[in-house]
């Protein structure tokens, strides 16, 4: 448990530093620790909620969240996240999807965010609600928030400026995690919830600490480029390990 506590703290620190929750990596760390795969999304989605809830509130209070666009994206994705949480899945498929998601996550972390919108929105920016639908489903199915995949798409399509995209991704992760968790709870029942609570409380403390420290480091000390590279390296390593073990 001590090793998992440290791993979750470091993961939350790194992901919070770049504005994400880290759900896929939490899930993979638990899988590598041979925790029952059926409770992994419960734990990962709960950790996501702890990490991004504060940043979502801060973005909202600062007035940088583009509520109309952000609510459209989350409104499309949230029911899909709930359905993903309800969907039965076997262990091999679950781990394969998770490993592939981690490798894709590592790649998206290396896409540099634009500081400002360069030119008008592309035509594809209007199609982002369509992209949000499968991201929501994947969020509920394997225990990720989906924002780490959404944000690069929003940057590439010049959907909005960097701060607005970060705020949107944070809200997207929070809402998807809540709806995905609800679906997982309905699917698993009280038995899995009890097992998740027994294991998860120390890990929730770890990500709460790591998330706060990560936000502080990002604001005052560490360059974003190096944080993103370090996070991508950790994610790629965990994803490769997981796929190798499938």
Residues 159-211 have pLDDT tens digits of 888 788 888 988 999 999 999 989 988 887 666 666 677 777 788 888 888 88
Predicted pLDDT at 242 = 75
Residue range 78-89: mean pLDDT, rounded: 93
User: Looking at 11-15, 67-71, 168-172, 215-219, which range is the least confident one?
Assistant: 215-219
State the pLDDT at residue 108.
78
User: How many whole angstroms separate alpha carbon 221 and alpha carbon 122?
Assistant: 34
Its pTM stands at 0.84
Q: In this prediction, what percent of the chain has a pLDDT beyond 70?
A: 87
pLDDT of residue 179: 94
> Chain-wide mean pLDDT for the chain?
82
Name the least confident of 21-30, 64-73, 115-124: 115-124
User: Could you tell me the pLDDT band of residue 119, with boundaries at 50, 70 and 90?
Assistant: low
Q: What is the DSSP string of the chain?
A: -HHHHHHHHHHHHHHHHTT---HHHHHHHHHHTT--GGGHHHHHHHHHHHHHHHHHHHHHHHT---HHHHHHHHHHHHHHHHHHHHS---HHHHHHHHHHHHHHHHHHHTSPPPSS--SSPPGGGGGHHHHHHHHHHHHHHHT--SHHHHHHHHHHTT-S-HHHHHHHHHHHHHHHHHHHHHHHHHHHHHHHHHHHHHHHHHHHHHHHHHHHHHHHHHHHTS-HHHHHHHHHHHHHHHHHHHHHH-
Write the pLDDT tens digit of every residue in 18-68: 777 777 788 888 888 888 888 888 888 888 888 888 888 888 888 888 999
Predicted pLDDT at 72: 94
- Cα separation, 109 vs 15, in Å, equals 10
Average pLDDT over every residue of 90-101? 86
């Amino acid at each position: 448990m001590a090793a998992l506590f440290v791993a979750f703290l470091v993961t939350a620190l790194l992901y919070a530093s770049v504005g994400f929750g880290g759900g896929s990596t939490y899930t993979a760390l638990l899988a590598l620790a041979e925790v029952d795969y059926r409770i992994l999304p419960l734990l990962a989605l709960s950790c996501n909620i702890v990490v991004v809830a504060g940043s979502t509130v801060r973005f909202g209070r600062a007035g940088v969240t583009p509520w109309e666009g952000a609510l459209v994206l989350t409104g499309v994705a949230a029911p899909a996240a709930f359905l993903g949480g309800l969907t039965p899945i076997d262990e091999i498929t679950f781990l394969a999807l998770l490993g592939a998601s981690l490798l894709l996550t590592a790649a998206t972390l290396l896409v540099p965010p634009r500081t400002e919108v360069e030119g008008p929105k592309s035509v594809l920016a209007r199609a982002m609600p369509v992209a949000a639908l499968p991201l929501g489903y994947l969020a509920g199915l394997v225990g990720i928030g989906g924002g780490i995949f959404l944000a690069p798409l929003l940057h590439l399509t010049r959907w909005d400026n960097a701060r607005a995209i970060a705020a949107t991704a944070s809200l997207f992760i929070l809402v998807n995690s809540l709806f995905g968790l609800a679906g997982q709870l309905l699917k698993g029942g009280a038995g899995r919830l009890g097992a998740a609570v027994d294991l998860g409380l120390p890990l929730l403390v770890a990500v709460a600490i790591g998330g706060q420290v990560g936000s502080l480091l990002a604001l005052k000390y560490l360059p974003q480029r190096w944080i993103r590279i370090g996070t991508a390296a950790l994610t790629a390593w965990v994803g490769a390990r997981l796929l190798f073990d499938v």
